[in-house]
Chains A and B, each alone.
Chain A
Amino acid sequence: DSGVTQTPKHLITATGQRVTLRCSPRSGDLSVYWYQQSLDQGLQFLIQYYNGEERAKGNILERFSAQQFPDLHSELNLSSLELGDSALYFCASSPYSSSYNEQFFGPGTRLTVL
């Protein structure tokens, strides 16, 4: 158990819908990262927040957005869902924003878009 929690574990929805994925980082970690894992793209970095502020953006679609709240939990919002958005979405956390800090991953949310 990494100490990172993600809810829900599974999510099944239809095209065009909007969903919110939630992540609680390890106690004391200030950085939260979101990754997408799919069969064709592998593990892709989406976005990073540090202490409530957006720090880095990766291959995140404009239909996706995220935020980190004062209690440091984070939410990833996915809208106008398409079949291709079906994937595993991981949240990870680390104490700070340093390159040498390992990231601790949550169990993931499996999103299925029908």
Chain B
Amino acid sequence: AQSVTQLGSHVSVSEGALVLLRCNYSSSVPPYLFWYVQYPNQGLQLLLKYTSAATLVKGINGFEAEFKKSETSFHLTKPSAHMSDAAEYFCAVSESVAGGYNKLIFGAGTRLAVHP
């Protein structure tokens, strides 16, 4: 079974600093990986996804993630944090089963705080 581990349930950075949110996955097959963001009292919004086309994936709001097979990682980064980036971030892997259905398996989430 596939799984996702997000290291650090809380990350705090200064405005303008580098954001690094860690995600490691476990999968016996090439994975499809996603990062979602959840702002307070809202649903999940897709930041970016990896579907094997390129190892460095660029997403919305200046975020990007790099797929590293050797490290089974898909860390999310942003060069310069903005106050509006404060939210909870979820890494997810898509698990598919013969028969054509799939589900997202989510990590526990990382809450990002950005302080002035």
Contacts and interface: CB of A to CB of B under 8 A. Distances in A.
Nearest to A100: B51
Contact of A45 (B32, B36, B105): B105
Given A55-B99, A56-B103, A90 B43 contact: yes
**Which bucket holds chain B's interface residue count?**
20 to 34
Residue with the greatest number of chain B CB neighbours at <10 A, chosen from A4, A48, A99, A104: A99
A25 interface: no
Given A42-B109, A43-B90, A108-B43, A102 B49 contact: yes
A99 B43 contact: no
A2 interface: yes
Contact of A99 (B36, B45, B102): B102
B104 A45 contact: yes
A103 B90 CA distance: 13
Given A48-B102, A55-B99, A56-B102, 19 more contacts: A35-B104, A42-B106, A42-B109, A43-B90, A43-B104, A43-B109, A45-B104, A48-B103, A97-B100, A99-B95, A99-B96, A99-B102, A100-B49, A100-B51, A101-B102, A105-B44, A105-B45, A106-B43, A107-B43
A99 B96 CA distance: 6
